[in-house]
Amino acid sequence: MNRRAVTGALLYDGSTEPPRPETTIIWQRSEIVWVGPDTEADLDETKVVSDGGAVVPGLIDCHVHLCLDATIEGIEKVANESVEQLLSRSMGAARILLGAGITTARDQGSSQGVAIQVAQAQRRGDAEGARILASGRGITPTGGHGWMIGVEADGPEAVRAAVAREIERGAGIIKLFPTGGVLGSGAHGFDLVMSGAEVAAAVDEAHSSERLVGAHVHGPEGIDMVLDAGVDTIEHATGISEAQARRSAELGVALVPTITATDVILDHQTDLPGDLLDRASEVRRVQSAGIRTAITAGALVLAGTDAGTPFNPPGLLVREMEILAGLGLGKRGAIAAATSLAAKALRLEDLGVIEAGRIADLLVVAGDPGTDLGTLRTPLLIVQGGEIVG
C-alpha cells in the first residue's frame, strides 16, 4: 500500500497562519497528495499511520557542523583526524539529527569537506540521516577563524579559486569566514579578516555556479561588508543594527543567529577557560539584543544551532526555536523559521510546507507546539521523504 495518511491532526503547515484542527494529510511514496479536513478525506486504499496529535513539517537546521565533536577540544582536534574518523562522526551526526525530527540540515563547514561525502552517499541511497546540504570546506584567510574546517586563501583571485575548487568537489553552497570568532585558535573577536574585494570575488564565483553563500560574521562592520558583497545568509549576525536589519530585509538576506551555541557554553561556565567565557558572554549579550532588534525591524531570521561546537551536540534545534520565539518571533514564527522560511531561503522548494505536491517530511507530536515548542523534542512519528523513519 503506497498511500499513507495522518488523520485527526492539528496541522501547523509551516506558515505563520493559525493551525488547522481535524486535518488529514495523505502522501503517496515521497509526495504529499492531499491535505484537508478529516470529513473530506478519501482513505480508500490508504494506511492510516497516526491519528491525533499535532503535525508540523520536518524541521530544518540551517547551521550545523557534522564533523565536529561537541567538546572544548573538538574544533582543534579535527585538523589532525583522518577522513575515516571525520566521516564516521559526520554520518552519526546526520542520524542523530534525523532522530530529533530534523529531516534536513545545512552543514556550514567540514574538515576535508567530509559533509559533501555524506550528502553524496545519501543521494546514492547509501546513508541515512537528515538530508544534508553541504558547503564542504569554509573559505578563510591564513590563520583565520575556522581554518580547521576550512581552506585558507588570501587575495580576491585566490579566494575565487578556492570557491571554484569547493564547487568542483561537490559543494552545494559556499561558506565564508570574513571575521574573527569565538572558538578555536584562529582569529577572534569582531575584527575583519577578509576584505570586501575577497568576499565579493567569492560571491561572484559562487553565484555564477548558482550556489548560495553564507558568511560567518561578528560585528557591524562585517555585516556592512557582506551585505555590500551580496551574500545570501549571514551566520550569527552579532551586533546587527536596525538599519542593517532593514537593509537585509530589503535585499532578501537571511540571518541565522545560532544563539544556542553561546547559550550552551554559558551553561558550563565552570568548565571554560576565562578568555573563552569572556568572548562567549560578550557575543551572547550583543547577539541577543541585535536579533531582537532585527526581528522587530522585519528581517528574515532562520533557525540554526551551530551544532558541533562545545556542549552543542546535534539535535538542539528546538532550543534555538525557543530562544527566537522569546526574542520576538513567537512560537508560530519560530516554527516557520525552522520549516517554510528556511526551505525558501535555502532554495529547497519541495520542503518546509505541508501541502499537496511537496515532499512528505513531517513530524507528529503529542502536544501543541503553538502552546509549547518543547513538545517538538519528543516526536511520536517522523516521516522523511514519505518513509517512516522514527
Which backbone phi and psi does 204 adopt, to 5 degrees? -60, -45
Q: Among 251, 174, 177, which Cα is nearest to 218's?
A: 177
User: Given the C-alpha cell 550556489, which residue does it identify?
Assistant: 211
pLDDT at 186: 55
Please report how many Cα atoms fall inside a 13 Å half-sphere around the Cα of residue 198, on the Cβ side: 22
Q: Among 198, 205, 289, which Cα is nearest to 239's?
A: 289
- Look at the alpha carbons of 368, 371, 376, 382 in this order and tell me if their dihedral is positive or negative: positive
Q: Each residue of 351-389: b (16+ CB within 10 Å) or e? A: bbbbeeebbbbbbbbeeebbeebebbbebebbbbbbeeb
In the chain, the amino acid numbered 119 is A
Q: Does domain 3-58+352-388 have CATH number 3.90.1170.50?
A: no
pLDDT at 285: 84
In the chain, the amino acid numbered 118 is V
CATH number belonging to domain 59-345: 3.20.20.140
Contacts of 342 by beta carbon, 8 Å cutoff, 6+ apart: 60, 62, 302, 303, 348, 352
pLDDT at 277: 72
pLDDT digit of tens for each residue in the chain (390 aa)? 689 999 999 999 998 889 999 999 999 999 999 999 999 999 999 999 999 999 999 999 999 999 999 988 878 888 889 999 999 999 999 999 999 999 999 999 999 999 999 999 999 999 999 999 999 999 999 999 888 899 999 999 999 999 999 999 999 999 999 998 776 655 566 889 999 999 999 999 999 999 999 999 999 999 999 999 999 999 999 999 999 999 999 999 999 999 999 889 888 877 777 677 777 777 788 899 999 999 999 999 999 999 999 999 999 999 999 999 999 999 999 999 999 999 999 999 999 999 999 999 999 999 999 999 999 999 999 999 999 998
* Cell numbers for 55: 503535525
User: Given the C-alpha cell 513531517, which residue does it identify?
Assistant: 362
pLDDT at 271: 72
Helix axis angle, 220-229 to 196-208, nearest 10°? 40
88 CB burial (10 A radius; 0-12, 13-18, 19+): middle
Say yes or no: do domains 3-58+352-388 and 59-345 share a fold. Answer: no
Instruction: Supply the DSSP symbol for 18.
Output: P
52 CB burial (10 A radius; 0-12, 13-18, 19+): middle
* Cell numbers for 10: 492539528
For the chain, the domains span 3-58+352-388, 59-345
Distance CA 187, CA 295 (A): 29
Q: Among 139, 65, 137, 140, which Cα is nearest to 96's?
A: 65
